[in-house]
Amino acid sequence: MKELLLIINPGSTSTKCAVYSMKNSKIVFEEELKHNREELETFGKLIDQTEFRKKLILNIILKNGYSSKDFAAIVGRGGLVHPCEGGAYKVNEKMIAELSECRYGTHASNLGAIISNKIGKEWSIDAFIVDPVTVDEFNPLAYVSGFKGIERKSRSHALNIRQVARLVADKIGKKFEEINFIGIHIGGGISVVAIEKAKFIDTNNALLGDGPFSSERAGTLPLEGIIDMAYSGKYTKEQLRKILSKKAGLFSYLGTSNFLEILDRIKSGDENAKFIVDAFAYRIAKTIGEMATVLKGKIDAIFFTGGIARSEYIINILKERISFIAKTYVISGQYEMTALGRNIEMVLNGLQEIKKYEY
């Protein structure tokens, strides 16, 4: 049996690719291919980037001594597909059609399945996705927004959070499916997820919805202000969408979304930067409190992950506010590539079912 998996994870300005060894259950090669934002903007639609990114991936894989004959399967980052349960899905034509037209939203991760499918067909091997952004296992009450016709959506860093939840479960000495967590991913976007026995029963919409503000995204805003912006005549619908998802949050207050730069400003005595970052942590803590009520206080652990979770400054503020709820763990960084490989390894070894994408 072939022992390698090709992993593809497209982002807004980069494409990560990796080789996962099922023999060693780990990533044995990884590369992040950076893209110039202006170059990507020359493509009319997201789908138009497919061949460009695919060629770069194949070049780097072949350059590093791998060939199509080495791989058992390909797994791509799951994008904005139809809301679905967590797990591994074999890519099919329905999924490709919906991702190609961005039926459920536009995000670079939509290209994960599309590129994987194209390469898989050329190499005559299967392509998969795992735990897409739209994993939806909500408690029915969680969909109700407060206005009929507008429904809350589940958009989270499901892949990374589910993988870290398994790591924390190992530390606790219990099975992932037996315990309750509040999982928080703090990066370019922020997800705060109530996890009940492996199910994501509630979360803020981390893309363009509700919850705490992030480095660039607005999170929950006062409705009166949103109405005033929408009818000010200053913005088109698309401009407003771009501002609230890419020019809001820390960027709108401090002129940068680079968190390391912001921390340096705080160390240099910038009181305004300190105030805004303290408010940033305050909003995250408030949302954690909300999720504690969702789980009725029955919480085995709270964990933090994502790039900004490396900041002791942020974590210390958060722990001060939420440590009374449950024991906290910090497993910073991102584990998406490993999670993609590990899940498909389990699928190919018969330890995890393949879910069929059909809606």
15-43 pLDDT per residue, tens: 999 999 999 999 999 999 999 878 888 99
pLDDT in tens, 202-222: 999 998 889 999 999 999 999
**Could you tell me if 159 and 272 lie in one domain?**
yes
Q: Are residues 234 and 309 in the same domain?
A: yes
CA distances in angstroms from 168 to 24, 39, 321, listed in the order given = 21, 40, 21
Same domain membership, residue 244 and residue 216: yes
pLDDT > 90: percent of the chain: 93
Mean pLDDT, range 301-330, rounded to an integer: 97
Query: Do 202 and 341 sit in the same domain of this protein?
Result: no
Please indicate, yes or no, if residue 123 is contained in any of the structural domains: yes
Q: Is residue 331 part of a domain?
A: no
* pLDDT score for 41: 84
The total domain count for the chain is 2
Q: Does some domain include residue 122?
A: yes
Residue 65's CATH number: 3.30.420.40
Query: pTM score, two decimals?
Result: 0.92
Task: State whether 185 and 111 are in the same domain.
Answer: no
Q: Are residues 79 and 192 in the same domain?
A: no
Instruction: For tokens 């933090």, name the residue.
Output: 304
Domain of residue 349 covers 4-134+336-355
Q: Is the pLDDT of residue 152 over 80?
A: yes
The answer on 163 and 278 residing in a single domain is: yes
Residue 283 lies in a domain: yes
**What does the alpha-carbon distance between residue 230 and residue 201 come to, in Å, rounded to a whole number?**
32
Which pLDDT value is given to residue 171?
A: 96
> Do residues 151 and 268 share a domain?
yes
- Over the stretch 53-72, which tens digit does the pLDDT of each residue have? 999 999 999 999 999 999 99
Q: Which of 203, 237, 188, 245 is nearest to 221 (CA)?
A: 245
Residue 39 is predicted with a pLDDT of 85
Separation between Cα atoms, residue 299 and residue 66, nearest integer Å: 45
Residues 216 and 164 in one domain: yes
Q: In which band, very low, low, confident or very high, does the pLDDT at 317 lie, cut at 50, 70 and 90?
A: very high
Mean pLDDT of 302-325: 97
45 and 172 both lie in a single domain: no
Report the pLDDT value the prediction gives residue 12, as an integer from 0 to 100.
Answer: 82
Is residue 174 domain-shared with residue 308, that is, in the same domain?
yes
